[in-house]
């Protein structure tokens, strides 16, 4: 099973590297969203420092949604997904592999570029560290939850709009605790409680999201 999981991840990463424009689109969108706010709000340092956690997290959330449809859509169109569902391996294992590949392509670049964007808002180094940890815990959860929506809207017309309506309410707790962790660090209260809640949400998503996504994929292919 581990070998199968690694093969799925390697396959999806290889395909993603052939479509580098998708990766750059996510990064450029994230950078533009986060960078435009200081231009519109003004150079007041205290104000920028106060709104920075929410802006960075909203930008990361929206950027991660750009590539959600790509998790299963290409394999669905060419019949690969149907063949994968017929293999003796658990469908949830297939889901985990594709979600991990999606996170490596979209989530990890966001985590790497976030500290540079945080410097625009004069975030302290402890706040930047908390931002990195919160994104490391939160972005996999976004991919796992997004996979459920991507499976439910697979093959539908205007699926992108419906996908956003499905997953955005489920993203709200991740957004609240992710931004809250950085805000608590900036105010000197410490963000450990928020990070613990983010970790708990991630564990729950790892357990439940693959099962729900697998069930949705079976329905979509029937």
Tell me, what's the pLDDT at 77?
76
**C-alpha distances out from residue 221 to 72, 79, 173, Å:** 11, 10, 31
User: pLDDT by residue (tens digit) across 106-144?
Assistant: 888 888 888 888 888 878 888 888 989 999 999 999 999
Enter the pTM of the model. Answer: 0.87
Which of 222, 216, 206 is closest to 159 using CA atoms?
A: 216
Task: Point out the residues of the chain with pLDDT beneath 70.
Answer: 157-160, 221-222
User: pLDDT by residue (tens digit) across 157-177?
Assistant: 666 677 888 888 899 999 999
Tell me, what's the pLDDT at 208?
92
d(CA 128, CA 122) in angstroms, rounded, equals: 10
Tell me, what's the pLDDT at 217?
84
Tell me, what's the pLDDT at 135?
92
Which of 19, 101, 20, 26 is closest to 61 using CA atoms?
A: 26
Q: Which residue has the tokens 């302290």?
A: 124
**C-alpha distances out from residue 105 to 64, 68, 70, 172, Å:** 10, 11, 11, 22
Structure tokens at 1: 């099973």
Structure tokens at 34: 């986060």
Dihedral sign of CA atoms 105, 90, 209, 77 in order: positive
d(CA 181, CA 196) in angstroms, rounded, equals: 10
For the chain, give percent helix, strand, coil, nearest 5: 85, 0, 15
- C-alpha angle 5-201-191 in degrees, rounded to nearest 5: 120
Tell me, what's the pLDDT at 159?
63
Domain boundaries, the chain: 2-221
């Amino acid at each position: 099973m581990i070998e199968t999981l690694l093969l799925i991840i390697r396959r999806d990463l290889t395909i993603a590297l052939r479509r580098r424009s998708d990766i750059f689109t996510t990064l450029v969108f994230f950078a533009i969203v986060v960078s435009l706010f200081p231009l519109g709000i003004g150079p007041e340092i205290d104000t920028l420092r106060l709104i920075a956690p929410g802006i960075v997290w909203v930008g990361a959330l929206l950027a991660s949604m750009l590539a959600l449809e790509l998790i299963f859509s290409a394999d669905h169109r060419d019949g690969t997904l149907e063949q994968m569902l017929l293999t003796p391996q658990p469908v949830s294992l297939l889901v985990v592999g594709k979600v991990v590949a999606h996170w490596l392509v979209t989530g990890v670049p966001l985590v790497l570029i976030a500290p540079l964007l945080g410097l625009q808002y004069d975030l302290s180094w402890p706040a930047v560290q908390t931002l990195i940890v919160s994104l490391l815990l939160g972005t996999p959860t976004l991919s796992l939850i997004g996979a459920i929506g991507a499976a439910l809207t697979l093959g539908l017309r205007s699926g992108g709009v419906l996908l956003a309506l499905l997953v955005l309410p489920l993203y709200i707790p991740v957004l609240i605790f992710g931004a809250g962790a950085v805000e608590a660090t900036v105010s000197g209260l410490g963000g450990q409680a928020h990070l613990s809640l983010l970790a708990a949400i991630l564990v729950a998503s790892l357990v439940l999201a693959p099962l729900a996504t697998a069930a949705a994929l079976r329905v979509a292919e029937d």
